[in-house]
Structure formats: C-alpha cells, structure tokens
C-alpha cells in the first residue's frame, strides 16, 4: 500500500510546493526567459564554430576576415551567456530563499497554534529538525531544480531543433537512443524516493535524541547513563548510516548510467556523421556542429538525473514540513469571542477530562470559587492537580461540562485575555537566553528598571542578582543554565510580582528554594494574594495552612474540602497525608 500511495503523496507535495512558488511567478518567468536566452546563445556558438572550420579547410584557403568576424560574434555570445546566467541566478535565488522563508514562517506560526496535546506527544528535536534541517534540504533541492532543470530541458529541446535544421537522419539516431536514458533515470528515481523518506525520518529521530541528551546531560551523568545514551545514539546513527548509504548508492548510480547512455549517443552521432561527411552529405564543419550538439544534448540528461534525485529528497523533506503544517491546531476561537474582564469568580461545572479516551482522570468535577479566595489543591501524584491548572488556563479543553470566569465560559473568550488574567509560577521554570532584566519583564517589556528591581526585591531575588557580574544586565544562557534552579525559580516569581494579574496560579512555586527564603517568599505571596483569587498546588502541606479552602483530590475527584483545621478534625484522607509528612515533628 505504501508503494502505491507514495507517487500520489509526491504529486500532492509537488502541487503544494508550486502553490508556495506562485507568489513569485514573476521571477520564475524572468528566470525562464533568461534561461531561454542563455540556451540560445550557447547553442548558436557551435554553428559559428562550424562555419569557421569550413572557412579554414584546405591549404592556403583560410578566410581570415570572416573567421575574425565569427570569433568576435562568439565572444559577444559568450558574454551574453554569462550575463543571462547571472540574472537567472538572481531570480532563482530570490524565488528559492523567499519560499524557504515563507515555509519557515508558516512552520513557526503553526507551532504557536499547536495544542499542548500535540506538543506533548512529539519530540522537540524532531520538530526542530523539520523546521531547520528539512527546510534546508528542501531549499537545496529547489535551488538545484531552478538552476539546472530549466536550462537542461531548454537545452535538450533547442539542440533537437538545431540538429533537425541541419540533418534529419543523424538527429533520428539521437532521438532513438534518448529513451534509454529516461528509462534508466526513472527506474532509479523510484527507488531512491523510499530511501530518502527513511533518511529524513531517522534524521529527525536522531535530532530528537541529541536534543534530549543535551538538555538532560546532568541527569545522564548523575545516573551513570552515559554508556546507555551512547548505545542508543550508536544504534540510531547506524540506522541513519544505512539509510543514507542506500539513498546515496541508488542516487549515485543515476549519473554514471545516464553517462553511459550519453556516450552511446555521442558515438552513434560520430559514426553516422562521419559516414555522411565521407559521402559528402555534410561538411566537416557541420560534423563538428553535430558532435558539439551531441555533447550538449546529453549533458543535461546527467544534470537532470542529479536534479531528479535532489528533488526526490527535497519533496520528502517538504512532505515532513507539510505534515507539521497539517497538524490539527488549537480549537479556533469563536468569531465573536469576547475579551475577558475577570472579577476573580471561577466556576467549574461538572467538568470531565481525560488525556486518553480509555483512561478516566477528572470526572464530574464541580467547584465554585469566590473572588479573593485562596484555593489550595492537594493530593497524591497523578490525581489531577496540574491537569486542573491546565484546564483553567485552557491549555486543554474539557471533554464535558464548563469552566466559567466572571460568569463567561472560557471557550467563548479570547485565549489571550484569559491567560493574561492569570499569573503563573510553576515548579518547572522557563527562562529565555538574554539579560535577567528582560526575563523578569517578559510579560511587561515596557517596565522601567526600578519596577523590575522592586519586583525582584519582593521575590527576594535582588540580593543574588546584585552579586552577578553585570547585575540586572547579566546574560543568562538558554533556560538559565548558568544559575541555580532556586535562582531560576526566584526570577519566575519576580516575573509574576511585576505583573500582578487579578488571579494567581502557584504550582509548587517554592519547590527549589531553601527553607529560609521560602518563609520570606510565603510572606510575599501572602501579601500578593490579598484580594486576588489564587490557586495553590502544593505537596508540602505546611505551605497551604492559611488557604480559605483546601481541595483534597484523589483519582480526579474532590474527596474532601474545607479549611486546614476542619480537615484535620475530620480525620480523613487529608489528615493522613498531613500526619505522614509531620509525624514525629509536630502534632496533628
């Protein structure tokens, strides 16, 4: 089935590539025009050369005047060939790299609209490979196609016309042998497509593995996983070597096979032309024209065979990028989506959600949060705490039920207004490569330096920032690799302190901070949460004692809710969790 659908998929990919080229059809027309002029100039040179030869045959019969005029004409045509080639290259480069830019822009825009469910199930490295490596390979193939395919096809057609105008029988010799070259090239092209597909797929998996190993190098070394990581890389590297060798082996056969056929063409033209010349059917100059044309006629077949191979690879890479572009985007916002004006009132009405259809997670979950309340969410790992946060932010949509903020279903408001209403500090930090000041002001780029400093002081990050070489202008690496995990978390807290939106989500916000700093941060949080609806996810139950309501979750359900004292007095699941953490240190 795969073999039958591959040609159809290639045609579909080719049609989409042509749609990408359509906005630049003006440059394509200019490229074709100058390619035609280039080929015409090249093909007229052998005729002038043949005329010059006919004027130099025989002792003492050299016609110097006409020969010099012909040489001048050849020089002008050569200059015209160079000029048309240069203009044609400018047009081809403009089209190719413009298409590559458009394709990358479309891919990046698509990534921004992909749902988390797609990103969670696809390796980041493979995604990077599609946007960078596959687009690069596609660009190389497309450029070669524009550069050599146009001139090659025109050269073949023009050469045949010129040869027909000189001698029909010799031209028929060329035409009869030509199909053999096409059959060989087509036979090999079909087999290289499969291997180029495998090569692109394995290369994407290799990039994903490299990305994973580099990002988790500390964990790899901490658990002594180096040998296993190398073994996994060697295995996938061997696969890439095999697929690459197979692809290159079959693609490399194309050129020598077509050259062999082309040499047969050249030999046939030489033999038949010599017999005609001896019989007086053509002049020696015309024979030289035919031999030159035979060489020029066969040369494009070698180039086109190489272009076909590269285009096979380019189309395979383009198909991987198109697969990304065709991925299902986030559910579109309604045409009349409202801009949310939050008042801190959040309602969950009979919410059900599951990541996999056959694995229930949250079932018939209801919650009514009043403005300004602090809601703590506790429970064992996997009970649905972080999932609930993802639903509140609409990173995922509920399967049934509804979530309302300020009385509005969050599916009926813009995502931007919903997410800007929350300030999030997560256990998993994210920082971009750049100055610390820009990282703190990420959601408020117009903030002044003093505002950034005040936010850092509130987050107790100011002291460590001042100790850095350049203070707030210190450049940190991607994801803050040159500062500690606790310092990264303080910067993320300062980022929220700077914005102070009407609602807060704190998901293990102090998990990487020392106890002394945590006490100070908790005081800052307490002040920050005044008058703001806050959702607090915590494993350390000592951090949520002052919450207005504590939701105790188990298997996607609220099994208990109430204040800290009420839940302890009830002696239920929360009391068991709490006592398991503080047994022997403080009474329940």
CB 269 within 8 A of CB 173: yes
pLDDT at position 402 over 90: yes
Name the average pLDDT for the chain. 80
Specify the domain boundaries for CATH 3.40.50.300 within the chain. Answer: 337-421+535-588
* H/E segment holding residue 362: strand 362-369
28-57 pLDDT per residue, tens: 888 888 888 888 888 887 777 777 777 776
Q: What is the mean pLDDT of residues 190-196?
A: 72
3-state DSSP of 166-190: HCHHHHHHHHHHHHHHHHHHHHHHH
pLDDT confidence of residue 305: 66
The yes-or-no verdict on residue 550 having pLDDT over 50 is yes
User: H/E element holding 456?
Assistant: helix 449-458
pLDDT for the residue 7 = 54
In the predicted model, is pLDDT for residue 243 greater than 60?
Answer: yes
Average pLDDT of 437-451?
87
Q: Please list the residue range(s) of the chain that carry CATH number 1.20.1560.10.
A: 2-325
As a whole number, mean pLDDT of residues 494-521 equals 79
Whole-angstrom CA distances from 550 to 383, 408, 442 are 15, 24, 31
DSSP state of 411: G
Out of 337-341, 428-432, 464-468, pick the least confident: 428-432
Tens-place pLDDT, residues 334-345: 888 888 888 889
Fold of 2-325: ABC transporter transmembrane region fold (1.20.1560)
Query: Given a cut of 50, is residue 4 above it in pLDDT?
Result: no
pTM for the predicted model, two decimal places: 0.65
Q: How confident is the model at residue 253 (pLDDT cuts 50, 70, 90)?
A: confident
Return the pLDDT at 405: 92
What are the start-end ranges of the E strands in 370-419? Answer: 374-378, 400-405, 408-409
- Write out the two tokens for 174: 């060329």
Using one digit for the tens of pLDDT, what is the confidence trace for 318-334?
Answer: 888 898 888 888 777 88
Label residue 588 by pLDDT band (50, 70, 90). very low
In the predicted model, what is the mean pLDDT of residues 395-409? 90
Q: What's the rounded mean pLDDT across residues 523-531?
A: 77
Fold of the domain spanning 337-421+535-588: Rossmann fold (3.40.50)
Task: Specify the DSSP class assigned to residue 133.
Answer: I
pLDDT of res. 2:
42
| Helix and strand element counts for the chain (H, E) | 20, 12
3-class state of residue 291 by DSSP: helix
């Amino acid at each position: 089935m795969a073999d039958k659908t591959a040609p159809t998929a290639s045609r579909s990919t080719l049609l989409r590539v042509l749609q990408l080229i359509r906005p630049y059809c003006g440059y394509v027309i200019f490229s074709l025009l100058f390619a035609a002029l280039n080929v015409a100039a090249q093909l007229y040179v052998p005729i002038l050369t043949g005329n010059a030869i006919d004027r130099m045959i025989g002792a003492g019969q050299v016609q110097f005047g006409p020969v010099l005029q012909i040489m001048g004409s050849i020089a002008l045509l050569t200059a015209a060939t160079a000029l048309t080639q240069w203009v044609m290259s400018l047009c081809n480069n403009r089209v190719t790299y413009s298409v590559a830019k458009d394709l990358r822009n479309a891919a990046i825009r698509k990534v921004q609209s992909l749902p988390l469910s797609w990103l969670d199930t696809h390796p980041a490295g493979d995604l990077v490979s599609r946007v960078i490596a596959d687009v690069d390979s596609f660009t190389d193939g497309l450029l070669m196609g524009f550069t050599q395919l146009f001139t090659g096809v025109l050269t073949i057609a023009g050469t045949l016309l010129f040869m027909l105008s000189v001698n029909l029988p010799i031209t028929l010799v060329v035409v009869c042998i030509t199909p053999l070259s096409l059959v060989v090239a087509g036979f090999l092209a079909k087999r290289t497509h499969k291997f180029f597909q495998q090569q692109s797929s394995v290369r994407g998996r290799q990039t994903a593995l490299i990305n994973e190993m580099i990002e988790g190098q500390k964990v790899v070394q901490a658990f002594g996983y180096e040998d296993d990581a190398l073994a996994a890389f060697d295995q996938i590297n061997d696969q890439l070597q095999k697929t690459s060798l197979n692809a290159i082996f079959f693609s490399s056969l194309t050129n020598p096979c077509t050259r062999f056929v082309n040499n047969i063409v050249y030999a046939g033209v030489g033999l038949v032309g010599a017999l005609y010349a001896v019989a007086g059917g053509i002049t020696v100059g015309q024979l030289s024209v035919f031999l030159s044309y035979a060489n020029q006629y066969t040369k494009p077949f070698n180039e086109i065979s190489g272009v076909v191979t590269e285009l096979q690879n380019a189309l395979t890479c383009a198909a991987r990028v198109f697969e990304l572009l065709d991925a299902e985007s986030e559910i579109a916002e309604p045409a009349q989506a409202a801009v949310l004006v939050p008042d801190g009132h959040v309602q969950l009405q009979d919410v059900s959600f599951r990541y996999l259809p056959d694995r229930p997670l949250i079932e018939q979950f209801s919650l009514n949060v009043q403005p300004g309340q602090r809601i703590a969410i506790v429970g064992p790992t996997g009970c649905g705490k972080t999932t609930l946060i993802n639903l509140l932010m609409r990173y995922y949509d509920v399967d049934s039920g509804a979530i309302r903020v300020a009385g509005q279903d969050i599916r009926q408001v813009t995502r931007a207004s919903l997410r800007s209403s929350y300030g999030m500090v997560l256990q998993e930090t994210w920082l971009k490569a750049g100055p610390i000041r820009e990282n703190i002001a990420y959601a408020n780029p117009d903030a002044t330096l003093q505002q950034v400093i005040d936010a850092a002081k509130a987050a107790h990050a100011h002291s460590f920032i001042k100790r850095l070489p350049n203070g707030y202008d210190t450049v940190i690496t991607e994801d803050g690799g040159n500062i500690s995990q606790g310092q990264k978390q303080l910067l993320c807290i300062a980022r929220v302190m700077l914005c102070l939106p009407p609602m807060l989500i704190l998901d293990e916000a102090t998990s990487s901070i020392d106890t002394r700093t945590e006490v100070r941060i908790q005081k800052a949080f307490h002040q920050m949460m005044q008058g703001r609806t806050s959702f607090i996810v915590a494993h350390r139950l000592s951090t949520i004692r002052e919450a207005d309501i504590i939701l105790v979750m188990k298997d996607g359900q609220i099994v208990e809710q109430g204040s800290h004292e009420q839940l302890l007095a009830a002696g239920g699941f929360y009391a068991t969790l709490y006592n398991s953490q503080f047994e022997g240190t403080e009474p329940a």
